[in-house]
């Protein structure tokens, strides 16, 4: 049992964010946050499931029902659903390419951690549609989903194309689903995607089986230290992507040398900053080439100044997942230190801010943000709760 002030406050926020429709992303209405979002709702639901709190587990169940009941007939999942009038958004300028994977991950996690097959049986057709729409988003049958700009969690950042993080979520969803349904085609697809990831997202001397001819020469500029963030026909993204590298560690996609390299890079970055890790590194500065594109991509106002938001900001939710990944990799002391930093950050100002500034560490997002609390709960539970391992039954290749 975990009994600390930061942990208990995190649980309290999840209770406060509970509605008859599910978990809302923040408890105060600002910029559309007080809605049930697929991505935020699933991550918060996983935290709720791991907590063992019966009331929160009920809200997790309702969250999944709200999301799957509002799946588009084509198969894509809601961006968010209003708990007030039930109105549904499937995205703004572009849709959410990560949401079908997150939805299946959430549904499978609920089924595995509760031993309740009711929802899984109820939404079998919807799961099929999630995987079908993801396959259609490959566009060319070559196993990797093409993510539009603003098409995943970092919706005001610069990336678009074959973004690694989204491929990893799809692998996780397929493997969880195949575990529950013994569906060989899903497991085979997960294997094919994994093979494409290992061939295209890590630089090596002889780049074989690359996705496209242009990628072979582009990869010459990639880092030797970590997994590639992503690529498209015109470029690769050389930034360190915390989310992608965390989930590679969590899902066991790398070999021993790759895992060691990623962990060393993360440790060095942590030692230089003595704080949570930024979601993307290095920060895009005002005079950098990518700043103009960054400035043009925002909805409610430009938030990605250097050190802010996606551009070098520190997000408790993704650092919480990193704690879990470090635990999987037997980096227990580092994981505990990072969890302590997450808790300190979550206790600042109005509590559980969405993100913090990358250098001065002041809150710079939405306060009382549910998935910031969820990240702390996931990290804490991963360190002590064997139930977390039930979601990682496949953290070895194949």
Q: What is the pLDDT of residues 222-275, one digit of tens each?
A: 999 999 999 999 999 999 999 999 999 999 999 999 999 999 999 999 998 879
For residue 362, being part of any structural domain is answered with yes
Beta bridge partners of 88: 81
pLDDT score, position 299: 77
Gap between the Cα atoms of 349 and 319, Å rounded: 19
For residue 177, being part of any structural domain is answered with yes
Token pair for residue 390?
């039930």
Report the percent of the chain where pLDDT is more than 90: 88
For residue 398, being part of any structural domain is answered with no
Average pLDDT, integer, range 158-165? 97
For residue 152, being part of any structural domain is answered with yes
CA dist list (Å): 107 to 118, 126, 177, 183: 10, 11, 9, 16
The pLDDT of residue 394 is above 80: no
- For strand 80-81 and strand 36-37, is the pairing parallel, antiparallel, or unpaired? antiparallel
pLDDT score, position 396: 46
Is the distance from CB of 106 to CB of 45 less than 8 angstroms? yes
Q: What is the pLDDT of residues 72-105, one digit of tens each?
A: 999 999 999 999 999 999 998 889 999 999 999 9
Beta bridge partners of 230: 163, 237
pLDDT score, position 217: 87
pLDDT score, position 393: 63
How confident is residue 119, by pLDDT bands cut at 50, 70 and 90? very high
Number of domains forming the structure of the chain: 1
How confident is residue 186, by pLDDT bands cut at 50, 70 and 90? very high
For residue 335, being part of any structural domain is answered with yes
For residue 249, being part of any structural domain is answered with yes
Residue 291, burial from CB neighbour count under 10 angstroms (0-12, 13-18, 19+): middle
For residue 326, being part of any structural domain is answered with yes
CATH code for position 205: 1.50.10.10
pLDDT score, position 242: 98
The pLDDT of residue 397 is above 80: no
The pLDDT of residue 343 is above 50: yes
Q: What is the pLDDT of residues 360-389, one digit of tens each?
A: 999 999 999 999 999 999 999 999 999 999
Gap between the Cα atoms of 113 and 124, Å rounded: 18
The pLDDT of residue 398 is above 60: no
HEC string for the chain? CCCCHHHHHHHHHHHHCEECCEECCECCCCCCCCCEEHHHHHHHHHHHHHHCCHHHHHHHHHHHHHHHHCCCCCCCCCCEECCCCCCEECECCCECCCHHHHHHHHHHHHHHHHCCCHHHHHCHHHHHHHHHHHHHCCCCCCCCCCECCCCCCCCCCCCCEEEHHHHHHHHHHHHHHHHHHCCHHHHHHHHHHHHHHHHHCCCCCCCCCCCCHHHHHHHHHCCCCCCCCEEECCEEECCEEHHHHHHHHHHCCCCHHHHHHHHHHHHHHHHHHCCCCECEECCCCCCCCCHHHHHCCCCCCCCCCCCCCCCCCECHHHHHHHHHHHHHCCCHHHHHHHHHHHHHHHCCCCCCCCCECCCCCCECCCCCEHHHHHHHHHHHHHHHCHHHHHHHCCCCCC
For residue 397, being part of any structural domain is answered with no
Residue from 224, 221, 222, 195 nearest 208 by CA: 195
The pLDDT of residue 52 is above 70: yes
- Segments forming the whole domain that contains residue 58: 5-392
């Amino acid at each position: 049992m975990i009994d600390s002030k930061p942990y208990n406050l995190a649980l309290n926020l999840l209770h406060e964010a509970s509605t008859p429709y599910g978990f809302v992303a923040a408890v105060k209405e600002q910029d559309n946050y007080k809605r049930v979002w697929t991505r935020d709702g699933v991550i918060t639901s996983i935290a709720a499931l791991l907590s063992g709190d019966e009331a929160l587990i009920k809200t997790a169940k309702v969250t999944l029902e709200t999301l799957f009941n509002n799946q588009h007939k084509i198969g894509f999942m809601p961006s968010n659903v209003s708990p007030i009038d039930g109105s549904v958004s499937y995205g703004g300028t572009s849709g959410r390419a990560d949401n079908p994977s997150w939805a299946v991950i959430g549904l499978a996690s609920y089924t595995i951690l509760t031993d309740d097959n009711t929802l899984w049986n109820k939404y079998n057709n919807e799961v099929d549609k999630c995987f079908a729409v993801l396959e259609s988003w490959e566009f060319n049958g070559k196993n990797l989903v093409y993510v539009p700009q603003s098409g995943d969690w970092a919706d005001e950042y610069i990336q678009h194309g074959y973004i690694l993080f989204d491929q990893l979520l799809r692998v996780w969803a397929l493997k969880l689903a195949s575990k529950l349904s013994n569906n060989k085609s899903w497991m085979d697809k997960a294997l094919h995607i994994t093979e494409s990831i290992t061939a295209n997202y890590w630089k090596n001397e002889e780049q074989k089986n690359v996705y496209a001819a242009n990628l072979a020469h582009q990869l010459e500029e990639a880092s030797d230290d970590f997994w590639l963030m992503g690529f498209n026909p015109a470029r690769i993204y050389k930034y360190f992507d915390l989310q992608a590298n965390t989930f590679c560690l969590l899902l066991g996609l790398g070999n021993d040398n790759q895992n060691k390299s990623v962990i060393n890079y993360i440790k060095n970055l942590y030692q230089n900053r003595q704080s949570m890790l930024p979601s993307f590194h290095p920060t895009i500065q005002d005079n950098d080439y990518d700043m103009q594109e960054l400035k043009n991509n925002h909805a409610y106002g430009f938030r990605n100044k250097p050190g802010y938001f996606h551009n070098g900001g520190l997000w408790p939710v993704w650092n919480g997942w990193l704690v879990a990944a470090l635990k999987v990799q037997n980096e227990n002391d580092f994981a505990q230190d990072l969890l302590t930093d997450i808790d300190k950050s979550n206790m600042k100002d109005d509590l559980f801010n969405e993100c913090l500034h990358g250098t001065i560490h002041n809150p710079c997002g939405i306060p009382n943000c549910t998935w910031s609390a969820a990240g702390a709960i996931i990290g804490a539970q991963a360190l002590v709760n064997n139930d977390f391992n039930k979601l990682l039954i496949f953290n070895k290749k194949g």
